[in-house]
Structure 1
Amino acid sequence: MHDIPQARVEEIKCSQATFQKFVLMMAKITYDAANKYFPTASDVKHPLDTTGRNIGHLSIVAAGKRSIPVCDEDVPAQDASKDKLTAKVLSAAPIYDDEGEWGSPEEAIGWRNNWFSSNFPPVNTDYTGRLDLEFGIANGCFWNCVVRRGYDRYGAAAYFDRAFQLVGIYTCSSGEYLCCPSSLMALLARNKTNNDDLEIDLETEELSQWRHAMWNWRVSTLALVTVADHLVKRKGVVNRNWAFEEDDFQTLLESTPNTFKKNFKHYIPESMRKVKDYPVNQDLTEFCDVITNLVRKFLLIVYGSSGSKNTKSCRLKRNMDNDPELQSFLEGLANSLDLVHSRDLSSFDDIVNKLTSLICNVTGVHELVGQILNYFVHPKICGTTIRRGKEMDSIQIYQLNCTLVSSTGLRMPRLMGNWEHLMTRNRYADESVALLREFQKDPQNLSVEIDKRNDSRAFPMSSFDPVHLESSVSV
């Protein structure tokens, strides 16, 4: 292995359980095969050319009768016997926790570069420097902040002011609650008043505990963005790394479908909507407008009609109500998202908003919260579990996390690709293709505008830049 003594190479290999070796091997095969080339829109088959027929929404069953819908994935119905066989195979392999430690961060990075090469999935937004302890101390003024119930039991929360400066951190680890020490607050206040340079000894007992609290905050960042994907996954191996109380877990399950019920623009917090330099205010809303325009015009091609405004509206509603395939799709969508079909998907605007929300979630929002690669560049930046007194991933944890990133962070066809071949099998083909070609101009213009804004932003952001966005397709 690169930059790792041979004796340590053998020691690391010996520490791997049979199950872990199998996972690493399969992840490497998947990674190597999937990243030989960048997939394009033309690689996506037309539905009539695929072999799958009995396709439906995947729901992750959890907590009794509740479930979390996965609406950007379609899975073929499987024989229950296959699930039983999988369970037997998994139960036959030894699975245990190994707290073996890396000799240094460089050793872990060397292992990662050797095993998966240096070509991890590309990072969209660069947060370099903004997670450093020194940055937080130099630019923030801290105070005790209340954390939403549920999250304070396993992680932490960070608070920023409108200028994107860190204003407070509150963290919890192993039942111990940590917040910014009063002595550090006093030092900050005194130095800020006197315009002195900050001279803080972080090795004192109280402040060294604060250094560890900062690391815990980084850990919780990953937990928040992956909890829906991995905490409640059936037969998931990762679920042992987190803990929720039952009522908080129920709250999480109830809130997940609700994110798809609201208009996409409402994702922006009320307190930030009038903040001039908040990047999401413009980027997200304009991206949402582009997608809304596409969805609306496409549905009008299929279900619209000529005539007066009132006549058009009545015929549009009637045409949509009389399409059994559309109604079946909407009924399935309502069931997956805990919606009421007759109430939440009754009008044309309701349908446009819900479809827009889904498209924006699996492209723009997925690009924003799904970018977890930068947390795994270094084994001290982030992990999926908080270990008492430790500020770096164990060998097992870092290997499994790198495996997760490399085997799931596979490239998808770009949103701004040529998708015309998917619209050539019906009588609406000519109009649909013309609409798609016209649509491509809007995201291109939006990308140019976002580049201009980023030139003057204190915190450049490209998460809603259509140039970076990939489609979400089943693989």
Structure 2
Amino acid sequence: MEQSPLIGESVYAPSWPVVQPPEPSFYSQGCCRTCLNIPGAFGCGGCRICCYSILALPLFVLLLGLYPVLAALVLVLLVLLGLPISYAIIYLLCLNPPPELAWKFAKLTQLLRLTFYQFPKPSEWRVDQLAPKGILQTGLLQYAIAIRVPFLQQDELYAGGLFERILRSAPSPEFVTSGIFSTLPQKKLKEMSLFREGENPVEYVMNVVQDIYPRIIQEWTDKTSDRALTHLCLHGLGAHRLERADSRAHPGCSYVVRTNQLSTLPVREGYETYGNDAYFDQDFRAVKIVRFENGEVWEDQKVTTFLADGSRDWEYAKFCFRCSLFTLVTLVDHLYGVHLQLANIGVQAMREQLSVDHPVRRFLVPFSYGSININDLARTTLVTRDSWLPRAVALDDEGLQLAWASAFQILPPDYIITESDPIKMLEFIFDREAQIEKKRSQGLFTAYYKQALQYWKILHGFVSRYLDHYYGTGAKGDLAMAADQELRLFMLQVVNLVQTLASPLSGHHVNEIWPSLSDSRKRGIMTNFIARFCELATAGHEQVGGVQAYAQDPSFCSFSWPKTLRREGVLAAPKEVGVGVALIMALTSTPMPRLLVREPTDDWSHLFPAPSESDRSRVHAIFQRFQSELQTFSEECDDYNAEAKNRTFPNDFGIWVFNPKYLETSVSI
């Protein structure tokens, strides 16, 4: 039975309730090794039937005693093939595979990943499992410019699931995945199915992906109203892209979230182009949406303005904005910014410049866990022609090429560097507190940035105390840290490879700038970078990647939609696109180590170097203080969310992305 939509402000865009996946989700399967770590396999009973049948059949044959040799052969074959056979039966009969072949492959891939998935237990990590310092072999991204990603076989500690093991054993994982994608047919837009009036898109999508979908943390009781648009931009997916509006060019407007950066990118036939900038007044109430219409670069810019009048055109403009924001954040902020820039470059520099016994290398182990494996999978399954992401977005091949080429120029405003002094620029780019204080001076110190600052101070304090322990404090500590050649090379490699620094540093060679810095300034930059790396790998990744509530509802957000919706039809992406977006979300949600220690197996402090027991006690105390501060902050976040309904608009909404109990130590996919 279909659920009724939530009461919203418009009949054109109903808000459909969030649907949680069934329990137990794969998050709670723990280390279970019973056939499949998939709840649907247990719920339908098919798994149990298949397993019992497989066990009973050879027993029956053996009991017959007529053909012992044949019975032995059958037994061997069933032992070898029993799991794949039962897996295929369950997948086809019980787990509701998607209608399109490419998305069948996506769901099967995630099922394979979760089968026998080894949930990370940091307490069991050993130093002798860490790979020695050395140059990593890398592969070039197909669309992006000058970005290389280490091959997944070179990852350390990360075990992953069955899919990763299959790829590791392949001579060329890229050849395997590209070969599969090139043979999978792709539906044209006109062949796709659209939602009917009154049909629940969330239930449709979750009926297909619920077996592998992660639990939804955020609470969205209203998704499509004007109030929801404010919540999206002030507390949700657009919170880190909120800017001050030019009130002279846009009278009555104080704030804006922009997505028109994507408006010039060419799209496939029949799809709507991206874009729309959402403007708000001083009380954060929606005023208008400005859309840059796609045209030739030499033509005058065509602009369409939609006013907040409750009309169908206004609802369509909001839908386009939400989808454009979702695409921009996923493609640029998440995949490019967090994964392929920060995590990828940071891990490469760590592995190539820091020895196994280096205290910073040991410190970064949990925050870099699985990054090589994850980023290489992204390279071969998301940033490859005909792979899952190109199938889901509206961009054609040229559009994808242009998007990746310009990604570093359309990162969030925090990454836009106006400082002309290269030394001050290096200090500012990694100093999160300085960036947030700049937001405060601009009148953008929202609840989102208040929590961001609290979280940063906890992380920065942890990093500072850790470095104080190994290098010392004061001038001697500054000198010791500045004199660490491995740490210097680590830092210089990072700065040289981050693409967003290429333009500000043009004409200045960072290797020449670095010696001119004082020891204390060098220490400050290195401390800030380590803390910023950890901050973006945890809360930063959650902000741009924790999109469970958005991805399950093709009427809330999507990567592509037909341009015919501008005139008529239900405001939702086609069914095939909706399922595809949700499956990409599921593929990017495999659990990583917890940031907040909940049980002894979550503790990674034994990795920190300690030559004596007293030294071990001191460094463990640093870790315990960090955990205590995280727990206190988590409780404050819970209280803030619990009181949301008692606050007035626009702050009557929760914030979940900084709560340590929901965070993982490293980027996940």
Q: Do both share a fold (TM > 0.5)? A: yes
Measured against aligned partners, the alpha-carbon deviations of 1:183-237 in whole angstroms (never above 9, x if no partner) come to x66xxxxxxxxxxxxxxxx6xxxx3333222211121121121113558953153
In structure 2, distance between residues paired with 1:401 and 1:381: 12
Give the match's secondary structure for 1:180: strand
| 1:235/1:22 CA distance change after superposition, 3 Å | same
Task: Tell whether the 8 Å contact from 1:150 to 1:245 is kept in structure 2 after alignment.
Answer: no
Q: Which amino acid aligns with 1:151?
A: L
Alpha-carbon deviation of 1:425? 6.0
Paired position in structure 1 for 2:280: 160
Give the match's secondary structure for 2:429: coil
Match of 1:404 among 584, 587, 591: 584
Is 1:208 aligned to 2:312, yes or no? yes
| 1:469/1:341 CA distance change after superposition, 3 Å | farther
Task: Tell whether the 8 Å contact from 2:209 to 2:579 is kept in structure 1 after alignment.
Answer: no
Give the match's secondary structure for 2:278: strand
Alpha-carbon deviation of 1:101? 0.8
Q: Which amino acid aligns with 1:226?
A: T
Task: Tell whether the 8 Å contact from 2:633 to 2:660 is kept in structure 1 after alignment.
Answer: yes
In structure 2, distance between residues paired with 1:277 and 1:458: 16
Paired position in structure 2 for 1:117: 210
Match of 2:179 among 68, 85, 88: 88
Paired position in structure 2 for 1:100: 192
Task: Tell whether the 8 Å contact from 2:591 to 2:668 is kept in structure 1 after alignment.
Answer: no
Paired position in structure 1 for 2:561: 386
Is 1:128 aligned to 2:224, yes or no? no
Of all paired residues, the percent bearing the same amino acid is 19
Give the match's secondary structure for 2:563: coil
Is 1:179 aligned to 2:260, yes or no? no
Instruction: Show the 5 A alignment for 1:75-474.
Output: 75=155, 81-97=172-188, 99-104=191-196, 106=199, 108-117=201-210, 120-129=213-222, 131-133=224-226, 150-153=261-264, 154-172=274-292, 177-181=303-307, 207-228=311-332, 229=334, 234-236=383-385, 237=387, 238-239=389-390, 241-243=393-395, 244=399, 250-254=405-409, 256=411, 259=415, 261-268=429-436, 270=438, 272-273=440-441, 278-304=446-472, 312-313=474-475, 315-338=476-499, 340=510, 343=513, 347-390=522-565, 391-417=571-597, 418-423=603-608, 426=611, 429-454=616-641, 455=643, 456=647, 457-472=651-666
Task: Tell whether the 8 Å contact from 1:298 to 1:435 is kept in structure 2 after alignment.
Answer: yes
Give the match's secondary structure for 1:94: coil
With 352-361 and 87-96 compared, the bigger mean Cα shift is at 87-96
In structure 1, distance between residues paired with 2:640 and 2:489: 43
Task: Tell whether the 8 Å contact from 1:68 to 1:253 is kept in structure 2 after alignment.
Answer: no
Q: Which amino acid aligns with 2:659?
A: D
Q: Which amino acid aligns with 1:333?
A: V
Task: Tell whether the 8 Å contact from 2:205 to 2:553 is kept in structure 1 after alignment.
Answer: no
With 420-429 and 277-286 compared, the bigger mean Cα shift is at 420-429
Measured against aligned partners, the alpha-carbon deviations of 1:347-381 in whole angstroms (never above 9, x if no partner) come to 10111111111111111122222221111232211
Q: Which amino acid aligns with 1:165?
A: R
| 1:450/1:113 CA distance change after superposition, 3 Å | closer
| 1:301/1:269 CA distance change after superposition, 3 Å | closer
In structure 1, distance between residues paired with 2:154 and 2:283: 41
In structure 1, distance between residues paired with 2:313 and 2:134: 55
| 1:112/1:254 CA distance change after superposition, 3 Å | closer
Greater relative contact order, per chain length (Cα 8 Å cut-off, separation 6+) = 1
Match of 2:109 among 26, 32, 36: 26
Task: Tell whether the 8 Å contact from 1:28 to 1:407 is kept in structure 2 after alignment.
Answer: no
| 1:65/1:422 CA distance change after superposition, 3 Å | same
Task: Tell whether the 8 Å contact from 2:634 to 2:659 is kept in structure 1 after alignment.
Answer: yes
Task: Tell whether the 8 Å contact from 1:15 to 1:100 is kept in structure 2 after alignment.
Answer: no
| 1:474/1:152 CA distance change after superposition, 3 Å | closer
Task: Tell whether the 8 Å contact from 1:363 to 1:470 is kept in structure 2 after alignment.
Answer: yes
Give the match's secondary structure for 2:572: coil
| 1:468/1:74 CA distance change after superposition, 3 Å | farther
TM-score normalised according to structure 1 size: 0.74
Give the match's secondary structure for 1:150: helix
Alpha-carbon deviation of 1:289? 0.9
Task: Tell whether the 8 Å contact from 2:394 to 2:560 is kept in structure 1 after alignment.
Answer: yes
| 1:272/1:471 CA distance change after superposition, 3 Å | same
Q: Which amino acid aligns with 2:123?
A: S
| 1:20/1:462 CA distance change after superposition, 3 Å | closer
Alpha-carbon deviation of 1:462? 2.8
Task: Tell whether the 8 Å contact from 1:287 to 1:464 is kept in structure 2 after alignment.
Answer: yes
Gaps (5+ residues) in structure 1?
A: 4-8, 186-201, 306-311
Give the match's secondary structure for 1:389: helix
| 1:300/1:52 CA distance change after superposition, 3 Å | closer
Paired position in structure 1 for 2:247: none
In structure 2, distance between residues paired with 1:473 and 1:47: 21
Gaps (5+ residues) in structure 2?
A: 4-92, 157-167, 231-249, 265-273, 296-301, 341-378, 416-427, 502-509, 566-570, 598-602
Alpha-carbon deviation of 1:48? 2.6
Q: Which amino acid aligns with 1:348?
A: R
Q: Alignment RMSD, CA only?
A: 4.4
In structure 2, distance between residues paired with 1:409 and 1:14: 19
Measured against aligned partners, the alpha-carbon deviations of 1:451-475 in whole angstroms (never above 9, x if no partner) come to 4444245333232222222211678
In structure 2, distance between residues paired with 1:28 and 1:106: 28
| 1:52/1:60 CA distance change after superposition, 3 Å | same
Q: Which amino acid aligns with 1:436?
A: F
Q: Which amino acid aligns with 2:481?
A: M
| 1:2/1:280 CA distance change after superposition, 3 Å | closer
**Aligned pairs, number:** 430
Give the match's secondary structure for 2:289: strand
Task: Tell whether the 8 Å contact from 2:229 to 2:286 is kept in structure 1 after alignment.
Answer: yes
Give the match's secondary structure for 1:458: coil
Q: Which amino acid aligns with 1:415?
A: L
In structure 2, distance between residues paired with 1:136 and 1:149: 17
Q: Which amino acid aligns with 1:150?
A: Q
| 1:28/1:350 CA distance change after superposition, 3 Å | same
In structure 2, distance between residues paired with 1:112 and 1:378: 7
Measured against aligned partners, the alpha-carbon deviations of 1:245-294 in whole angstroms (never above 9, x if no partner) come to 98876443246598392421344485655759821242111111111111
In structure 1, distance between residues paired with 2:638 and 2:257: 36
| 1:127/1:267 CA distance change after superposition, 3 Å | farther
| 1:380/1:465 CA distance change after superposition, 3 Å | same
| 1:420/1:152 CA distance change after superposition, 3 Å | same
Task: Tell whether the 8 Å contact from 2:261 to 2:410 is kept in structure 1 after alignment.
Answer: no
TM-score normalised according to structure 2 size: 0.54
Measured against aligned partners, the alpha-carbon deviations of 1:427-469 in whole angstroms (never above 9, x if no partner) come to 5533321210122122222233334444245333232222222
Alpha-carbon deviation of 1:177? 4.7
